[in-house]
Amino acid sequence: MKNKKNTWEELSKKRNGVHEKATFTKQEKVTFQYKNNIILLEGYMTIVGNTPIVNTRIRTIFKNPHQLNFKIYHEGFFSSIGKMLGMQDILIGDDEFDQRFVVKSNDEKKIKQLLNDYKLKSLLLFGKPITIETKLKDKCLKSSDESILSYEATGIIKDLDTLENILNIFERFIECMIEIGFSDESQITSVLKS
């Protein structure tokens, strides 16, 4: 198996990204340009007990004038129990997707329209379990019509196919938001901070 360094460098070269090696004070990161969006793949540190753990995070800022907020994650044991106890999630009308994912959103109609895209659904169904969500508020957001699309995983992702699938999800998400009129290609004014 390839180590993280080689995988992230390989991904950077393959997708014309900018790779920055880890230093004593900063984790490794790769930035990718897609349309007017910067997609940032980075390691970040958390402390569990007294143990530091480096995790993987992928984020991008996108135009979101309608303030669509959502969280999409794979159905698990606890979410299955929650559903049995009446916890509500949004069903999009695709049996396979609805059985495998929990969808939460502030706008049922818009999230259904977004997830009606065959390519986006296929990318979400294809890969390993994933949680992807929007963040409407963050200290790096300078404009009220900008939001963050975020993916986080415990540990460092070293699998090239998994990383590529997540980047493909981000790119397709941006395309869909523009295609259905929930976003546009105007200049992003905010900058992600590591």
Residue 41 lies in a domain: yes
Neighbouring C-beta atoms of residue 149, cutoff 10 Å? 22
Ranges under pLDDT 70 in the chain: 1-5, 77-88
Residues 6+ apart with CB under 8 A from 87: 79
The pair of structure tokens assigned to 49 is 């007990």
Residue 69 lies in a domain: yes
Number of domains in the chain: 1
Rounded Cα gap, residues 160 and 167, in angstroms: 11
Residue 154 lies in a domain: yes
Residue 190 lies in a domain: no
Q: Residue 161: which domain range? A: 4-179
Residue 194 lies in a domain: no
Residue 189 lies in a domain: no
User: Burial level of 105, CB count in 10 A (0-12/13-18/19+)?
Assistant: buried
Identify whether the C-beta of residue 65 lies closer than 8 Å to the C-beta of residue 49.
no
The pTM for the full model equals 0.88
pLDDT at position 78, please?
A: 55
pLDDT at position 1, please?
A: 47
pLDDT at position 77, please?
A: 54
The pair of structure tokens assigned to 182 is 């929930």
Question: DSSP character for 187?
Answer: P
Identify whether the C-beta of residue 55 lies closer than 8 Å to the C-beta of residue 98.
no
Residue 57 lies in a domain: yes
Residue 123 lies in a domain: yes
